[in-house]
């Protein structure tokens, strides 16, 4: 009987300690997994991984059955980070707008761009080129487009190429179609003789001041109006 009681006590001791060891093991395993999960979460946030990746992206937007604009990009990434949804075009994009008669009213190209979805805002960077229906071409390194405000602007250096003129300055504001634009600080205006060939062509500078009046283009695309600052 004593032997049985002794065995019973040993068995109970082993049983209790086994359960304790099992609970400790589960706790350690849970803690380790929890740490791993936190590390994975932290890694994902730090890396800001996209939720969508598309190559050779091409789409068009329609309104009342009519094409309003087309968008092309070699690569597209979509991100969702703390409620801020945006689309990134790391290798550039090309956006073309059309009127109701399918005529091109403006276009925008850049080597890098972002679209902030909720704000309806675009940010184009690096070798930005924008054109309008009148044949004007804007070149700069940064351009912001706010769709809701019907406004395109930049504080950077800009060049505007017209059929017979080149305008340079700092700061630019326009409507979405680039039909009403102005340069905030005019640097220079160059006239180009389009009738001569490249060997005999010439240009003349009519302004090269660091600070100049603001220039505003009329809606008709005709003469430019000077506004005092």
Compare 119 and 157 and report the one with higher pLDDT: 157
Domain range list for the chain: 1-47, 52-227
Strand partners, 199: none
pLDDT confidence of residue 1: 47
Compare 90 and 9 and report the one with higher pLDDT: 90
Taking the C-alpha atoms of residue 88 and residue 45, their distance in angstroms, rounded to an integer, is 17
- Cα dihedral sign for 133, 170, 207, 197? negative
Q: What average pLDDT does range 18-45 have in this prediction?
A: 47
Compare 51 and 227 and report the one with higher pLDDT: 51
Q: Is the pLDDT of residue 213 over 60?
A: no
Q: What average pLDDT does range 36-50 have in this prediction?
A: 55
DSSP assignment string, 115-171: EETTTTEEEEEEEEEEEETTS-EEEEEEEEEETTTTEEEEEEEEEEE-SSEEEEEEE
Of 139, 136, 138, 95, whose CA–CA distance to 114 is shortest?
Answer: 95
Helix (H) or strand (E) holding 42: helix 2-47
Compare 199 and 201 and report the one with higher pLDDT: 199
The fold adopted by the segment(s) 52-227 is lipopolysaccharide transport protein A fold (2.60.450)
Q: Is the pLDDT of residue 139 over 80?
A: yes
pLDDT confidence of residue 203: 42
pLDDT band for position 195 (cuts 50, 70, 90)? low
> What SS3 class is residue 59?
strand
pLDDT tens-digit readout, 69-98:
899 999 999 998 777 899 999 999 999 999
Burial of 189 (0-12, 13-18, 19+ CB in 10 A): buried
CB 151 within 8 A of CB 132: no
Strand partners, 72: 58, 94
Taking the C-alpha atoms of residue 148 and residue 70, their distance in angstroms, rounded to an integer, is 18
pLDDT confidence of residue 12: 57
pLDDT band for position 153 (cuts 50, 70, 90)? very high
Lowest mean pLDDT among 41-45, 103-107, 119-123, 188-192: 41-45
Q: Is the pLDDT of residue 35 over 70?
A: no
pLDDT confidence of residue 16: 53
- Cα dihedral sign for 23, 27, 33, 37? positive
pTM for this entry = 0.65
Q: Is the pLDDT of residue 2 over 50?
A: no
Taking the C-alpha atoms of residue 121 and residue 184, their distance in angstroms, rounded to an integer, is 22
Report CA 206 to chain centroid distance, whole Å. Answer: 36
Average pLDDT taken over every residue of the chain:
75
Per-residue tokens: 101 = 């008669």
């Amino acid at each position: 009987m004593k032997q049985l009681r002794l065995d019973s006590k040993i068995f109970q001791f082993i049983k209790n300690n086994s359960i304790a060891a099992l609970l400790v093991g589960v706790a350690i395993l849970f803690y380790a997994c929890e740490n791993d999960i936190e590390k994975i979460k932290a890694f994902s946030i730090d890396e800001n991984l996209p939720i969508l990746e598309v190559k050779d992206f091409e789409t068009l937007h329609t309104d009342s059955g009519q094409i309003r604009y087309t968008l092309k990009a070699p690569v597209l990434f979509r991100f969702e980070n703390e409620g801020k949804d945006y689309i990134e075009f790391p290798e550039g994009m090309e956006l073309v707008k059309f009127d109701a008669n399918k005529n091109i009213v403006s276009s925008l190209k850049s080597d890098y761009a972002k679209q902030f979805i909720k704000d309806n805002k675009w940010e184009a960077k690096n070798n930005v080129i924008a054109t309008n229906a009148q044949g004007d071409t804007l070149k700069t390194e940064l351009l912001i487009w706010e769709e809701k405000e019907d406004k395109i602007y930049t504080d950077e250096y800009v060049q505007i190429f017209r059929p017979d003129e080149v305008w340079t300055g700092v700061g630019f504001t326009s409507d979405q179609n680039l039909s009403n634009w102005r340069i905030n600080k005019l640097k220079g205006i160059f006239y180009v003789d389009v009738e001569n060939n490249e060997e005999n062509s010439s240009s003349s500078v009519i302004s090269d001041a660091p600070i100049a009046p603001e220039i505003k283009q009329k809606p008709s695309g005709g003469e430019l109006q000077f506004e005092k600052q």
